[in-house]
């Protein structure tokens, strides 16, 4: 949908009560976009090991890769992550230590034609640490003018409406109303400054069973538990144009936290089509991750006088999309390893769910919760997000029997439609509980990797470097158009180009037994 034709909806959803709620599209995306992380060998090869296997990190992608282990093994990985072009903000610096992975594979049974392995692996599937800054001019526009236009359209007349948010409430109660003439006004701004700190991680705990049949067919199953710890602090400042109340501007401070757990199941297979060849074909499927989460915020506004803060907490559910993968792998004389992987997931199919409450079954002694799909927010998600294609390429060359050199490339296509916007007028609890109007339409991600591996008897030490680059378009708020022609009532946000460039140095220590 063209942004110039994006009008504020004035649909109002009247609810009879306020049960635990769903979430907003842009907040949901923070929980579904995984990093390239794991062992240094896996990262150094761009993650293209789903058909090659025999690496603990494949437990979380293609579970059948664990079936290629011929010995038991334990790995532990840690390192540094540094954000390029960033300046320390609040409590977060540009370079931070990270504990990234620990896991093992244990061989339960081995015969000449088959093996059966079990394994466990923890890895940090998402590192939220990021500083985001943006600044630009504004022309007859402001965040509070968007709230004012909602007021003009009558959205605030129904107190049970879900088409306004906590920021709107702050503006309506502390800025827009004039006590002298008992009327509402808006305050256009000349410019804005935005700074944001994201911290935390998603930890994934994978439990795996795998094996092979006649060294030709490898099968695997992984059950994953996901542990979410996300924290965000932002400061948004606007400088107002000259106004009747002589208010120079204001600053909004927002603290948001998301915590909770989820689970998924992964199925995978690796085939050797030709008995005399090391060529392998891998396929795998991931179910959605079914998340049960809690979010809370604490938001304040000041224009010289600190307004009464707003804070809310609620529970919600998210179902991520299915993921499908196809991979190729080949080794040459135990000297060269080549891998390629393609993945697809339709992020427009992310489902937010409203929790209706639950009931206690006295007969079984169990507590059950019910939920239903948030149709309005899911429609917005489908229009805003799209399918993501992932391409992984990797190569490993043993320059000596003990020393390996690795290179890789990893590409993710853009998740956001170019004209997507955080729409605070979607008739959804996700809109009502939002405490920020800003959003970024991130574009494709390109990752370049390289690494070294050294083996001494049963020990191995691996080092990897990863450079990740992603560009995005930052908007302080959604656009509002009064009509098809230009109007003083229009509220057009000025877009700012932003980027997220990261460097990662990763070390893995391993032991075979």
List pLDDT tens digits, range 429-450: 888 888 999 999 999 999 999 9
List pLDDT tens digits, range 259-282: 999 999 999 999 999 988 999 999
CATH code of the domain in which 313 resides: 2.40.160.60
> In the structure, what pLDDT confidence band is assigned to residue 94 with cuts at 50, 70 and 90?
very high
> In the structure, what pLDDT confidence band is assigned to residue 13 with cuts at 50, 70 and 90?
very low
pLDDT at 230: 97
Number of domains in the chain: 1
Asked if residue 228 lies in contact with residue 259, where contact means CB atoms within 8 angstroms, the answer is yes
DSSP per residue, 256-310: EEEEEEEEEEEEEEEE---TT---EEEEEEEPPPEEEEEEEEEEEEESSSBPPPE
pLDDT at 492: 96
Instruction: Give the range of the structural domain holding residue 465, as residue numbers without chain letter.
Output: 3-512
Alpha-carbon distance of 394 to 396, in angstroms, equals 7
> What mean pLDDT, rounded, does the chain reach?
91
Partners of 97 in the beta sheet?
80
Q: Tokens representing 187? A: 């305050």
pLDDT at 429: 81
DSSP per residue, 66-95: GGG-SS-EEEEEEEEEEETT---BTTB-SE
List pLDDT tens digits, range 303-317: 867 778 888 888 889
pLDDT at 345: 97
pTM of the model: 0.90
pLDDT at 284: 98
Angle made by CA atoms 446, 31, 473, in degrees to the nearest 5 = 50
Short-list 443, 388, 445, CA closest to 418: 443
List pLDDT tens digits, range 134-163: 999 999 999 999 999 988 888 765 656 677
């Amino acid at each position: 949908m063209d942004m110039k034709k994006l009008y504020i909806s004035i649909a109002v959803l009247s609810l009879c009560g306020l049960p635990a709620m769903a979430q907003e599209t842009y907040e949901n995306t923070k929980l579904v976009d995984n990093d390239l992380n794991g062992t240094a060998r896996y990262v150094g090869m761009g993650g293209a090991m789903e058909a090659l296997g025999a690496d603990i990190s494949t437990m979380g992608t293609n579970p059948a890769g664990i079936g290629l282990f011929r010995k038991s093994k334990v790995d532990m990985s840690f390192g540094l992550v540094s954000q390029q072009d960033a300046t320390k903000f609040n409590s977060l610096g540009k370079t931070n230590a990270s504990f990234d992975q620990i896991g093992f594979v244990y061989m339960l049974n081995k015969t000449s034609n088959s093996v059966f392995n079990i394994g466990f692996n923890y890895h940090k599937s998402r590192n939220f640490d990021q500083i985001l800054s943006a600044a630009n001019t504004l022309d007859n526009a402001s965040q509070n003018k968007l709230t004012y236009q909602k007021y003009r359209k009558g959205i605030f007349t129904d107190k049970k409406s879900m088409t306004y948010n906590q920021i709107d409430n702050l503006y309506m109660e502390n800025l827009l109303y004039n006590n002298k003439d008992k009327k509402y006004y808006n305050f256009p701004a000349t410019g804005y400054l935005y700074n944001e700190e994201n911290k935390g991680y998603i930890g994934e705990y994978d439990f795996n069973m795998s094996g092979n049949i006649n060294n030709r067919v490898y099968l695997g199953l992984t059950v994953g538990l996901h542990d979410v710890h996300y924290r965000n602090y932002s400061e948004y400042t606007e400088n107002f144009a000259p106004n009747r109340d002589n208010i120079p501007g204001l600053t909004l401070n927002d603290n948001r936290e998301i915590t909770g757990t989820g689970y998924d199941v992964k199925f995978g297979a690796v085939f050797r089509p030709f008995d005399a060849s090391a060529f392998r074909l891998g396929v795998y499927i991931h179910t959605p991750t079914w998340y049960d989460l809690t979010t809370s915020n604490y938001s304040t506004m000041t224009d010289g006088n600190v307004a009464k803060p707003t804070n809310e907490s609620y529970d919600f559910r998210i179902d991520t999309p299915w993921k499908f993968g196809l991979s190729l792998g080949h080794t040459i004389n135990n000297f060269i390893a080549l891998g390629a992987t393609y993945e697809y997931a339709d992020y427009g199919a992310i489902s937010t769910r409203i929790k209706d409450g639950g009931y206690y079954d006295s007969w079984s002694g169990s507590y059950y919760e019910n939920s239903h799909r948030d149709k309005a927010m899911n429609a917005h998600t489908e229009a805003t997000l799209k399918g993501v294609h992932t391409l992984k390429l990797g190569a490993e060359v043993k320059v000596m029997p003990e020393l390996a050199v690795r290179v890789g490339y990893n590409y993710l296509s853009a998740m956001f439609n170019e004209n997507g916007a955080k729409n605070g007028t979607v008739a959804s609890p996700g809109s009502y509980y939002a405490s920020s109007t800003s959003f970024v339409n991130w574009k494709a991600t390109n990752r370049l990797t390289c690494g070294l591996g050294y083996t001494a008897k049963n020990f191995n030490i691996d080092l990897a470097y990863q450079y990740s680059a992603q560009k995005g378009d930052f908007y302080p708020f959604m656009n509002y158009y009064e009509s098809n022609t230009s109007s003083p009532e229009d509220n057009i946000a000025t877009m700012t180009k932003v980027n997220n460039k990261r460097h990662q140095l990763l070390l893995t220590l391993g032991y075979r037994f």
